[in-house]
Amino acid sequence: MSSIDEIRDARIKKLELLKSKSINPYPTSSSREISLKEAIENFNALENKKDTKWIGGRIMSIRGQGAIVFLTFNDGTGTFQGLLKKDVVGAEKFDFFNKVVDIGDFVEIQGIFFTTKRGEKTLEIKDWHMLSKSLRPLPEKWHGLVDVEERFRKRYLDILMNGEVKERLVLRSKIVSLVRKFYDDNGYIEVETPRLQMIAGGATAKPFITHHNALGVDFFLTIAQELYLKMLLVGGFTKVYEIGRKFRNEGIDATHNPEFTMLESQEVYGDAKTGRDFVEKLFKYLIKEIFSSYKVTIDTAKLDFEKPFEIIAFYDLIKKYTEIKNPVYADQKELTAYAKKMGAVITPNESKENILDFIYKKLCRPNLIQPTFIIDYPVAFNPFAKRREDDPSIIDRFQLVISGIELVNAFSELNDPIDQKERYLEQDKKGKKGEQEISPTDAAYLEAMEYGMPPNSGIGIGIDRLAMFLSGAKNIKEVILFPTLKPKDNK
């Protein structure tokens, strides 16, 4: 078997041969008249008319049988068969094709459509042109690739060689379009907020830092768009949303990528209850549009979106699936001992809510298969959520979990600037103790709040994770075109 270098050298010689015949192997224009998808859809009419048409694409297979060659093309819209016959194109063009064309090359072919004796839709070639000469061979055993990261590094080959990968990524695009349509149809305005921010606010996460040379200052890459959206409510907007890239300098695992796409929205005069109603309608809309039914099987889970979503309070969830029977009053020592028993590594300054969150993710979340809203979190879980009026130790927040995956985080937004400042001070204290995933005091945001912010509800949906769930993917990298990877060989 020839090495890659040997194959490349042989193809470069073919490239030079094309040039020696004054043939541009990478021409500016193509004569293609119809896509392969159009050729398939209109095949009967094309065959009956016997008109000559130009089609083009990448050659995926070449099967030579003496004076005839069968070709399989892929142009991104479909696949089609071409038949090159020596007695039709002439000996010179036929022989030259065999000398310079390889699997992987882009070519265009002109001919008439017909059906073979085996019933295969085919174009009988009368002429051909090179459109792009490939120098590297396509992989032969891509589907059995052991090194999964190599698939992500060479995503272009992954998409080309694996139809399921392309379908999944196309589905992601459809999901984004559907989400955008749902928001637009419900009276929301799509906006854009800064990617470069002076303070990494709006969420509790570790940010990336960059430097602006002209201004001579450091900026944080945005971790959330929430605060800017709420400033727009102060300015008089009523329903706003953004679908944008976010960056968090944290770990990489099956459900996390440092660079990700997040939808966040704000609606004036809403609360967590109206937010839940909106989210439930959104998910039922997505399910029906994608699967044409409210009862679906995604991966191996049989899910019912027809009935109302289940609702359970956070502390009730802890009691249901753990041995902690009174989590409200459980102290740091009890929670730490239990978390360590479950395999957690707890630092001396670990907050109570972080320990509870670990226990929830380890023992509770995997059990939530049917669509379930978790409500009524402890106040320390989010510095921007409004307290419940009947119990100030609880925030009016919810998360939507399906198949053990957190898909939505939402709450009644805090619009009390005094309470917000107190929450910020608690975050600052955590930062001084060494905790990195905090939301530090944002004086500009506090000032905006003091001008008066209407009551409002906020919703956050991770688009990558949503696509992962709806496509049945096991890893978030599967639904990101070019996921973040460690450099190969650390170079």
pLDDT of the residue at 174: 98
- For residue 470, CA distances in Å to 184, 213, 303, 463 come to 21, 42, 11, 10
CA distance 436 to 265: 26
pLDDT of the residue at 142: 59
Tokens of 237: 């907007």
Q: What are the DSSP calls for 210-247, one per residue?
A: EEETTTTEEEEEPS--HHHHHHHHHTT--EEEEEEEEE
Q: Structure pTM?
A: 0.91
The answer to whether 406 is a known ligand-binding residue is yes
Q: Averaged over 273-297, what is the pLDDT?
A: 98
Residue 322: pLDDT above 90?
A: yes
pLDDT of the residue at 205: 87
Instruction: Return the amino acid letter for 285.
Output: Y
CB 371 within 8 A of CB 402: yes
SS3 of 140, please?
Answer: coil
User: In sequence order, what are the residues at sequence separation of 6 or more whose Cβ sits closer than 8 angstroms to the Cβ of residue 299?
Assistant: 403, 472, 474
Cβ burial, residue 486 (10 Å; 0-12/13-18/19+): exposed
Question: Tens digits of per-residue pLDDT, 355-400?
Answer: 999 999 999 999 999 999 999 999 989 889 999 999 999 999 999 9
User: In sequence order, what are the residues at sequence separation of 6 or more whose Cβ sits closer than 8 angstroms to the Cβ of residue 366?
Assistant: 404
Q: Averaged over 220-235, what is the pLDDT?
A: 96
Band of pLDDT at residue 186, cut at 50, 70 and 90: very high
Q: What is the 3-state secondary structure (H, E, C) of 276-335?
A: HHHHHHHHHHHHHHHHCCCEEEECCEEEECCCCCEEEEHHHHHHHHCCCCCCCCCCHHHH
Which sequence spans correspond to the domains of the chain?
A: 4-138, 157-309+370-478
Tokens of 141: 């055993």
Percent of the chain with pLDDT over 70: 98
CB atoms within 10 A of CB 26: 11
Beta bridge partners of 242: 264
How many helices and strands in the chain, by DSSP H and E?
16, 19
Question: Tens digits of per-residue pLDDT, 69-116?
Answer: 999 999 999 999 999 999 999 999 999 999 999 999 999 999 999 999
> How remote is the C-alpha of 263 from its chain's centroid?
12
Q: What is the 3-state secondary structure (H, E, C) of 165-179?
A: HHHHHHHHHHHHHHH
CA distance 195 to 214: 17
Residue 183: pLDDT above 60?
A: yes
pLDDT of the residue at 230: 97
Question: Tens digits of per-residue pLDDT, 301-312?
Answer: 999 999 999 999
Please state which CATH class domain 157-309+370-478 belongs to: alpha beta
- DSSP class of residue 437? S
Please state which CATH class domain 4-138 belongs to: mainly beta
Higher pLDDT residue, 487 or 34? 34
CATH topology match: 4-138 vs 157-309+370-478: no
Closest to 61 measured CA to CA, from 80, 48, 44, 77: 80
237 Ramachandran zone, left/alpha/beta (phi>0; psi -120 to 50): beta
pLDDT of the residue at 328: 92
pLDDT of the residue at 143: 59
Element (H, E) at 356: helix 352-359
Question: Tens digits of per-residue pLDDT, 134-157?
Answer: 999 998 765 556 578 888 999 999
CB 344 within 8 A of CB 350: no
| Average pLDDT in the chain | 94
